[in-house]
Structure 1
Amino acid sequence: MKTSTDELLAFVTVIDSGSITAAAEKLQQTVSGVSRALTRLEKKLDTALVRRTTRRLHLTEEGELFLGRARAILAAMEEAEESVARRRERPSGRLRVDAATPFMLHCIAPQMKAFSALFPEIRLELTSNERIVDLLEQKVDIAIRIGALQDSTLHARALGSSKLRVLASPAYLAEYGEPRSVDALRGHRLIGFTAPDLLNRWPLRDGADLLKIEPAMAASSGETIRQLVLSHWGIACLSDFMTSADVRDGRLITILDSLLVDVRQPVSAVYYQSATLAGRVQCFLDFIATRLRF
């Protein structure tokens, strides 16, 4: 590359400041030094970027085009330097993370010993809300949300997706029998959610739509529903992130697998970006993204 960053910086600063003298003051350089940098840049590009008059500077057409590219290059370099600096620094201070109880218990809490070993100066505060929280009102730095995102004002990072399955305990199935069809399923005790009603549409076909169940018992928390299934009360539809260990260890059994529609719940981290929180937020997101297994 023929052009140096010093020359790009001199050019952009001259335009932003309105004069070579003001640019020199801002850059803490001599007027002649800034002027020479601008002249070198124009010579290398073999074109005039600025028309100089006694009163002011005017960008040429080529200068207008080059200015946008120069700004982008300088911004990219600054971002690259900051990313390296963040790795060198040791993030510290309070970081409040919010997630629904099941995700907190099954996905976040088991990883926090390893996180604290890597970042001992970050003071974690973990909160659990079953409903969507206002990050500013609750002073939350990162919220983990399950499902489609609604708030476009937040920054978001996709963490993956978790499949929905229909499950029951071995003891329940031994007592009441395993349903082999959607019609047979309706004759069982089904456990659903109090809200939102969308969670009571199970990934099974009922005509052209997904099956809409009428819960014999409902709960607001997926973890409560999981405990009801584990205690042999009935059948539920839950996400892999909270039941995969139960299935692996034989505490729960998936049913109607051959009829299951592949429905997955997206998992996202949402947050407000700010200079003071960027380091803590970034290191937590990078860490948890590598640890999640759905």
Structure 2
Amino acid sequence: MITESSSRTIDLESGGIDLALSIPNTDADRIAENADTQLILHTGATDRYIALNCQSDVLKDVRVRQALNYATDSESIRQVCYGADTSEPMLSVVPSTLQGYRSDLEQYGYDIDKAKSLLEEAGYGDGLTVEFKYLASSTNNMLAELLQQMWGQVGVTLELNPTESGTLTSALNKGDFEICCAGTNFPLMEAGAGLYDMFHTSSMYSGNDRSELSDPEVDAVLDQVIVTTDADERAKLVEQAQELIHADAPFIYLAYTKSIVGASSKLRGFDPTPTSMYDFRTVYFVE
């Protein structure tokens, strides 16, 4: 197993390996343009977002959370940080591959004037300061700088706090942060249980909940989700929960990231799946 992503790319290019199941999006063009390799993209069940701590003094006001959504050009961030071809626009907390996904939610959009108006209404017309705690990486560093520039236009000072992995995880699990970037994978391809773990009050300060949202209406719907066995009824409840969560604005949607697989140009028969559970029995090679 090759744990270092850049090493996987190099080994694939040199012929040391025939298949790399996870290629950084920054290496995607290299693999696609190399005559000896091929790029395989598929949409999975992973989303990337900015999580806003709904229990923090400033962000407990939904108007501030909504203002930060309006102050963020998410599409520009998606293309710069996650790749125009290696990601898709995120329109909901539920990935587009899952039952119950809603694409019709009214998006906040990039609207500086609306952001300023909401901040003024919330009592922050003269500006405010919030901290962004994140794992230092090339992608997250770009994200942090873009957010800092965008939010500065509406009077929000973003203090950057790149943090080591273990310290960051401990802080996030305790709710010791204001803003962080995170991602969620729905490995069972089932939205209801994922939403419960991410947004139910009982999930606060856990490894799955990064918004610390506590909304009785959301809780009530999610309580129904986990005891409902009929798939269609469960999907309807997931749709209802999405609308409530979207209005609460605990996240700033960034991207649905695609799984990026690199392979030898001679490899055939690889069939990617959204669950990332692969069957290699169909794989073969041609000369």
Normalising by the residue count of structure 1, what TM-score does the alignment of the two structures yield? Answer: 0.38
Q: Relative contact order (C-alpha < 8 Å, sep 6+): which is higher?
A: 2
Structure of larger gyration radius: 1
Normalising by the residue count of structure 2, what TM-score does the alignment of the two structures yield? Answer: 0.39
